[in-house]
Structure 1
Amino acid sequence: MKNEEEKNFQLDLLRKVLGSVQDLVVVIDRDLRIVTSNWKNCDSIASIEKQGNPYCYSCLMKRSTPCEPCRLLEVFTTGHCKRFEIEDPLDGKTKLIELSPIFDDNNRVSMVVRHSKDITERKDVEKNLKMRERQHAAVAKLGQQGLSGVELDLLMKESVKLVAQTLDVEYCRIMKQEEDGDFVMLAGFGWEGKEEKAEDLGGEENDNGQNILCYTLYKGEASVVEDRDTKDKFSGYSLLRDHGQVSGMDVLIGRMDKPFGTMSVHTNQKRMFTEDDIHFVQSVANVLAESISRRKNEDRLEKYAQELEATTELKVLFTDILTHDLLNPANIIRGFTEELIILEDDQSKQKLLNKVHKNNEKLIEMMESAAKFIKLESVRDIIFEEQDIVPILEKTIRNFRDCIDKKDIDLVFDPVCSCRVMASPLIEEIFINLLSNAIKYSPEKGKIIISSTCPEDECRVQITDFGPGISDRDKPQIFERFRQADKGSVKGSGLGLAIVKRIVDLHMGRVGIDDNPLGSGSIFWVSLKKAK
């Protein structure tokens, strides 16, 4: 009797509390019957089902038998709270369910309070945030690959794969419009094994820009179709029809006035693509457009460089382009990237900025070296004066002291004698290039030996390093311009050693390379005639 009075007292308190709670809360006894609730806050349960004390599984879960496993029974048995998420069969929304035990005087679970909280909106927000995170990561990955010089075909294949996987759609493709007006698929995900040309995509559908692909090309704006049966722009293209595509989206690759093509995504589910989805696909298309533009520029520069080889006049013009039109923007990029590296806290963005900075520095080095070499090719009046090489070597070492100390390199300078030669001011550039290479390819805490000797009527300077060395196959071509050794043995622009060779030739000297007999590495040597 006492227990029954206590139970009724607890129920009265709960009824008063439940009246102010907006979420659906029910109290369930050990027979799995609902003893009280705030039914008025739940319109998805029919009035007839709320009468009396219905079974919880029947009223709340639309079942004829208890759930398996039954978490309520677990709470009655263990006395521990339970917390889990379900898709509510009453309204199809995502709900957070909390089960809390009520104990009697004997510390036995007499009832369980079931609190149902609608978290659909929160789950949607979480889903959107995760989708954005995946989208940003995909764009960053493709951007990094584009900067690293990945082949354009591979970049396109990786792009369609990443877009399809990130947006969770069945198909993604890149289409290019040929000069004859036909469309060709350059890369596709989900279309494997299909070499589709315009006629296979439905030649009759090129109807003055009415389909989605043509609309995007001609209008220069992204096009989205939620349901193909309601939009003329999705008409045509047997490839889409045959695969049961319902929704799709096209974005432009390249400039509106001179487009390269489109990137499309398609799914066999009815779907309204969001603004974030459109921005994501457009960002990927922009990465591709930049890579395509860079490739075209590289092709144009290569052709341009070949034409510049023809005459001295073109070489002078190329020098002006390097030192003004190209080098100045590169130096501006250097300044901004160095500033951004300091300001940026995000490590992934810092990594991309460092990669941009590193490649820009390499570009500047190549342009400066090319300009020097071209000037050497056109040198006519060079003034030669008697000079001692030893002070020049000492000055060169001082200029590189910071780089030497940074790598903790042990540099040994051992001049045997004074070496007086007839030399021009260009002579210093020889030792700058040779010492720079020795530092660049020496390991941390490595060693460099610089020596000068005077055999017979020559002055000989040797710079010995203990780096990776140069293979016998690469030695014959190492001093040729725009020729590099195998990247496994040495890296560079292919101009530094060509500059050395050109200056040595101007001084009627000799230059060469030998293996380091003391271990790994190389010996670069220069022999110049002594002053008489």
Structure 2
Amino acid sequence: MAGKEARFLKVLMDLLPEGIFSMDMEGRILLVNRSLTELLGYRSFSLLGKSVFDFAPQKARKGLREVLNEITASGVVRDRVVQLYDAMGRVRDLKMSLSLLKDGMGRPLGVIAVVSDVGDATRLERELEELQQFSQDVLDSAGVGIIATDLKGNIVFASRGAEPIFNTPAQELVGQNIIKRSPDPLVLNERFEGLISSGEPFEYGFEVMGEDGMRSLVAVYTLLRGRDGAPAGAIAVFEDVTRIKEIEEELKKSNSVLREYTRDLEGLVEMTRTIGSYLDEENIYRGMVEAARKILNVEVSCFFRYDEGGRRLSLASIGGFRLRATEALDRELEKGGLYGFLRTLRSPRIVHRLSEERHFKLPGRFRKRGLQTAVFVPVRIKDRALGVLSVFLKSPERFKKEEVEILQGIGTSAAIAVENARLYEEVKEYASGLEEKVRERTAELEQSNRLKDLFIDIMGHDLLKPAGIARLSAEMLLDGEEDEMKKRIIGSIVQSNKRIIDLIESATILAKLESGQELELSPGDVMEIVRDAAADAGDLAQEKGVEIQIEGEGSFPASVNPLIYDVFSNLITNAIKYGPENSQVKVAIEDAGGDWKVSVADRGPGIPDEHKGAVFERFKRLEKGAVKGSGLGLAIVKKVVEIHRGRVWVEDNPGGGSIFCVTIPKAA
């Protein structure tokens, strides 16, 4: 029977439109109907046996516990709004009525609850309250005071930001008239009426007394319209601009100082250019003193200069006084202790109340001018003291840091100019000495050239002629001599005489080439010149059984001097001399871009790399056994080729021996 009654009760509960569930006194769910599962989206087994607190948000559990405590005490609780999670995890606002279930003895068994959805209206009301609270919080945190009025200026809303402006709590401001609270009601009333009639916003500035003194405020009034668009009042936004005005005043003062400082800097730049253009120290000192007096607008400026030893000070220049001589003033300044005071300075010093100064006493002519303040700035060149730049003024005002920096800038510019002037004098003196040395050296070179020309003439005439006669006489004796021993002796004389003549001729040619004398160039064919040189070396080649091969076809036009023949003759002759008997000398001409390249290859012993450059120097010969020579041949080759704007060098012959290469520019 009990089972049938329970099933009947379940069917009956499922027919009801409201959600129903029962729970024990601990909140554990014992029974749910279909409407509740549909309302929350759960299946019944997801709810049964679970605590109702498991489905409540953390912040709602305390309220739910209070409801259960209340039902235990009163037996009935109606229309309480509670929050539970649905199956989608959303928080649902539910209206719940609860009744206490008791046994036959009146003891509590559990609770039965009827649940229905609160609906959108309740949620909207709560959201509206939250929005209103949020709006209030935003307005309060905006940092400005906000007031809303009706058409007559009566305050209907005031934010907490308006409280310090009017020194009144926001709640007490509501109901008061904003116009009457104004320092100038007539002006505000006129402008307020204009706002209501025209809708044009306006700005209203005024001052009020605050705890920290007078405060500057600005209010911006805009028209407030109702839903029908008709004027409904005004919104006024108040802002404390006291600090802004203070900053504006500070900026004005700073801008004024900056403009003045900019003018000073422009003057400093111009004066620096002027000072830097001087190349004598006296003008530099005058320019420095004048710049300090004009830029800083002082009565007197002067520069005290150290002597070379850096011990004694003297007046180098002064502005603001007319002095014919400075010696008397120097004595007064030394006697009065100013120079002793200045010698101790390592950094700028400002002295106020000069008449009360204990370290020094100014001369009478300074005191008569009523000077009260002085600024002393040491001026240095690198690590050496140059002097002290000083300015004096009547005003007792303190010098600004910027003005001291300007004075230091003037001193630094002057120190650089002095250094440049001294360097200029040193360079000038050095240049003068250098010019004298150049003149002396030029005279020596001219004398040397004259002696060299004389020596060339002597070799070409006075030596060459007797040598030629001696050679001719020796050859005649050799032809008529039959005694073999005498023939050998005379033959040796002939060969020695021939070498002397070759040496004189080579030395004469080289001397003329090194004298810088220009060579006349004329059109020529490199191939023809090479063939002529090879033909002239034919007898020597035949004696050693050497074959001369010439490679190259066609013509090879170039602008050359007849001495170019000696270049190719020397190279071919050397190749024959230093090559072995019965070998080959190969002469090749090829196109090398803008030049013709002529190479002479032999099969001789070769030249080590460390000696390849030395063979073209005068009197530089490698040991070649029995081969004799003047040591000038390749030096002449190099000089002639260079005069033709070509190059000459030596390479190793891959098959053994050397390859001498020459380039000659092609004809234009």
Q: TM-score, normalization: structure 2?
A: 0.32
Larger radius of gyration: 2
